[in-house]
């Protein structure tokens, strides 16, 4: 009977170690490399449709290689539990179309200006103003679902630097 329990405990320890290691790897990948994002809502139509599954990477954020035109996922400035997918339309010091929240049209230091591709239905920087770079979580790079629309959403790699550096 003792060997039966010993064998059972060896299996429990083995599978616990495998489960713990798997969790650590998944946590590290999601927090430092990237993740899968299911996009919902019409604000990025037609580029991203409701229900598209997209690979998002974090290395561009850490390496500060975001560019105007990139599609990013940022925390909603008014509800930090919600991730918004928007196009990066202006970096700090850029001149953008003036809005109620940005009457002079210049994006402040440490901020970016985000727009949805489907302007009539998008809640973006025109509604809530420039977004602090600290709220930008990921860059959306590759649509993987549906297969009929699979393809790249970005035209540069996370390590390619532009002449302008993000703070």
pLDDT in tens, 48-102: 999 999 999 998 888 888 889 999 999 998 888 889 999 999 998 888 888 888 8
Q: Which residue in 69, 39, 56, 70 sits closest to 146, CA to CA?
A: 39
pLDDT higher than 80, residue 164: no
Give the count of beta carbons closer than 10 Å to the beta carbon of residue 86: 25
Are the beta carbons of 21 and 63 closer than 8 angstroms? no
SS (H, E, C) the chain: CHHHHHHHHHHHHHHHHHHHHHHHHHHHHHHHHEEEEECCCCCCCCCCCCCCEEEEECHHHHHCCCCCCCEEEEEECCEEEEEEEEEEEECCCCECCCECCECCCECCCCEEEEECCCHHHCCCHHHHCCEEHHHEEEEEEEEEECHHHCEECCCCCCCCCCCCCCC
CATH code (residue 129): 2.10.109.10
27 within some domain: no
- Answer yes or no: 86 catalytic: yes
71 within some domain: yes
1 within some domain: no
Domain span at residue 115 reads 35-152
Percent of residues, the chain, with pLDDT higher than 90: 32
Among the listed residues 43, 60, 122, 125, the single catalytic one is 43
The pTM score is: 0.75
Comparison of pLDDT for 4 and 166, the residue scoring more:
4
- Answer yes or no: 125 catalytic: no
What pLDDT score does 112 carry?
93
Query: Whole-angstrom Cα distance, residue 52 to residue 147?
Result: 10
pLDDT higher than 80, residue 2: no
139 within some domain: yes
| Overall number of domains in the chain | 1
- What residues form DSSP beta bridges with 151? 143
Among the listed residues 60, 86, 122, 125, the single catalytic one is 86
Of 2-6, 74-78, 86-90, 156-160, the range with the lowest mean pLDDT is: 156-160
């Amino acid at each position: 009977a003792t060997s039966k329990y010993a064998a059972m405990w060896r299996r429990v320890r083995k599978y616990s170690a495998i489960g713990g290691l798997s969790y650590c790897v998944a946590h590290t990948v999601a927090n430092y490399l990237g993740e899968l994002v299911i996009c919902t809502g019409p604000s990025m139509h037609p580029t991203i449709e409701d229900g598209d599954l997209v690979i998002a990477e974090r290395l561009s954020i850490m390496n500060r290689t975001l560019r105007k035109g990139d599609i990013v996922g940022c925390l909603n400035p008014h509800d930090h539990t919600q991730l918004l997918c928007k196009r990066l339309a202006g970096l700090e010091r850029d001149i953008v179309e003036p809005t109620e929240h940005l009457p002079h049209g210049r994006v402040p230091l440490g901020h970016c200006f985000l727009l949805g591709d489907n302007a009539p239905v998008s809640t973006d920087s025109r509604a809530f103003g420039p977004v602090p770079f600290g709220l930008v979580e990921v860059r959306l790079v590759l649509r993987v679902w549906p297969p009929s629309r699979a393809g790249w959403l970005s035209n540069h790699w996370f390590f390619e630097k532009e002449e302008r550096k993000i703070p």
